[in-house]
Structure 1
Amino acid sequence: MTEHTAQDDHALAGRLAEAAGRLLLGVRDELGFADARALKDTGDLRAHEYLMAALAECRPGDAILSEEGRTSVAGKRARGDERAPTGNTATGDRLAADRVWIIDPLDGTREFSEEGRRDWAVHVALWERRAGGGAGGLTAGAVALPAQGVTLRTSPDGALAGAEPLRVRPPREGRLRIAVSRTRPPQFVTELAGKLGLDVELVPIGSAGAKISAVLLGDVDAYLHAGGQYEWDSAAPAAVALAAGAHASRIDGSPLAYNRRDPRLPDILVCHPVSSSTLLTGIRDVSDALPE
């Protein structure tokens, strides 16, 4: 891979995420909000087909793992389109590939289908195998927040919010705002909040991408999740978070690993590095105290 291509991957991720976001805004305008299921399915699948086609054209030799390219969603149909979704790269081929794009065409379908909500996203990330056949890691990523009019992405020098440099901000002393699920905040986060010895505020936000973006933009100080996710839920926002100087790991402190045979990646912590030790210790203590 040439240096030019490596730099282009950052820009490509941003362009594709933004374009898919514009498409999704158009789907909202076209269908309205009366039929939530039709809006969700149409948004999911039109954004998926756009990204699959664009990556096939721009990076024809790369593998793709998309939330909407799984066998389990083959029965879904978009409004006015009877085709099944384009499938992902076969698992064996993906695991052998040196470059894999991990995408979530619409992160936060519930929020997308609710009029006025802005906390949904598009994720585009690139995983690359390390030289010498190593395990590999995320090398580029973008999170478009179409209803908020901003895209966060990696760059050769770090991360960007639009055209501006992006660095995660430290929390205010004695206070911690933690982004949690709108509908199912994990029990242990509430337990954790009571044990940290800080002024803790739990802030409900929609999609995972919107939550991690809120950390990076300074709207909250941490995102903590243990309710079950997949690689496409976190790959792009984790790539941007790491590029922006944030801590991003599993809740036991182990690294986030992508392009695995089983794409489940059930938990994540994203915060400023100054908060990571406090949160990881608190998570461990609370987890040990919870009943089996």
Structure 2
Amino acid sequence: MPATDLSLLVKAAEQAGDIACRYTGPDAKRWDKPGGAGPVTEADLAVNTMLEDMLQQARPGYGWLSEETEDSDARLTCERVFIIDPIDGTRSFAEGSRTWAHSIAVAEHGEVIAAVIYLPQRELMYTAAKGQGAACNGSPVRISSAAELATTEILAAKPNLLPHHWQGGTPPAFIRSYRPSLAYRLAKVADGRFGAMLTLRPSWEWDIAAGDLLVREAGGIITDRSGSLLRFNNPQPRLNGVVAGNTPLHTELMAALDPAGPGIAGH
């Protein structure tokens, strides 16, 4: 990884925040993507255009994978690839909430090696580089030390508690919380505010890539719902759910999940 990759991502995130904050979420033009893929706003597209121009000019040999750019097989031949969600939490943005994020990562041979999650309206800049730890606003962050699932706050949407995901049909006891941005959920696990997070539906790489490195560099474990380590820049850029947390909580969650539960193939 070039030594300047992380600093490049930080500069890109700062510029992305400047652009997105020029829009008032509820007043930004909004469209629904085909096939129920969710909303997109003019702010998403403006941020994506800037990021694509800036990052690809700075690293012309890197591949490109973004939620708001038509995908191309060309990225599969690249040693390194940018994995981008211009605005993670678009619904939240469009509703006027401050809880949305720019998620920007570089993956090398399928492993994320530099990452930024930036919430400009909350003034939170999460950063990580392989082997260099994770930080928020320049201060190191560390995964929670909580050891008992039943007394720990876990970030998860309500559908994750449906019985078909769990052995015996009953999810384990924990205190459920929620944040609309997947990237932000992973950042809040990395900084120790929440003990773990899980999303058991197929998940797009651009929602997860930056948070994957943050969690790992903060001392946590992050896998798909089957327990496999996450790999990025796949031909079909979707992951089989995500479970992230410290070792005891991750172990307890994985033991409770039904390995025969629905995954990508059954989605």
TM-score, normalised relative to structure 1: 0.78
Residue from 88, 94, 109 that aligns with 1:113: 94
Q: Matches of 2:141 and 2:4 in 1, distance apart?
A: 19
Q: Matches of 2:163 and 2:182 in 1, distance apart?
A: 18
Q: Structure 1: any 5+ residue segments left out of the alignment?
A: 71-87, 130-135
Compute the displacement of 1:206 (Å). Answer: 0.2
Secondary structure at the aligned position of 1:254 is classed as coil
Q: Is the 2:198–2:243 Cα contact (8 Å) retained in structure 1?
A: yes
Amino acid in structure 2 at the alignment position of 1:43: A
Q: Matches of 2:146 and 2:157 in 1, distance apart?
A: 20
Secondary structure at the aligned position of 1:209 is classed as helix
Q: Using a 3 Å threshold, how does the CA distance of structure 1 residues 228 and 195 change in structure 2: closer, same or farther?
A: closer
Q: Is the 1:124–1:141 Cα contact (8 Å) retained in structure 2?
A: yes
Residue from 122, 135, 157 that aligns with 1:181: 157
Greater C-alpha Rg? 1
Compute the displacement of 1:97 (Å). Answer: 0.8
Partner residue in 1 for 2:108: 128
Residue from 235, 245, 252 that aligns with 1:271: 245
Residues 1-292 of structure 1: pairs in structure 2 closer than 5 A: 6-28=2-24, 33-34=26-27, 37=30, 40-70=40-70, 88=71, 90-91=72-73, 93-115=74-96, 117-129=97-109, 136-155=110-129, 157-171=132-146, 173=148, 174-181=150-157, 184-185=159-160, 187-188=162-163, 194-196=170-172, 198=173, 200-284=174-258, 287=261
Amino acid in structure 1 at the alignment position of 2:64: I
Amino acid in structure 2 at the alignment position of 1:45: L
Compute the displacement of 1:19 (Å). Answer: 2.0
Q: Is the 1:186–1:227 Cα contact (8 Å) retained in structure 2?
A: no
Greater alpha carbon shift after TM alignment, 253-262 vs 151-160: 151-160
Secondary structure at the aligned position of 1:258 is classed as coil
Q: Using a 3 Å threshold, how does the CA distance of structure 1 residues 10 and 243 change in structure 2: closer, same or farther?
A: same
Instruction: Summarize deviations over 1:139-163 as a string: whole Å, max 9, x none.
Output: 1111111221111111352111111
Q: Matches of 1:219 and 1:160 in 2, distance apart?
A: 13
The Cα RMSD (Å) is 2.6
Q: Matches of 1:201 and 1:189 in 2, distance apart?
A: 20
Secondary structure at the aligned position of 1:27 is classed as coil
Q: Is the 2:101–2:183 Cα contact (8 Å) retained in structure 1?
A: yes
Q: Structure 2: any 5+ residue segments left out of the alignment?
A: 32-38
Instruction: Summarize deviations over 1:92-150 as a string: whole Å, max 9, x none.
Output: x21111111111101110001112x2221111111112xxxxxx411111111122111
Q: Is the 2:165–2:261 Cα contact (8 Å) retained in structure 1?
A: no
Q: Is the 1:65–1:102 Cα contact (8 Å) retained in structure 2?
A: yes
Q: Is the 2:76–2:235 Cα contact (8 Å) retained in structure 1?
A: yes
Figure out how many residues of one structure are paired with residues of the other and give that number: 253
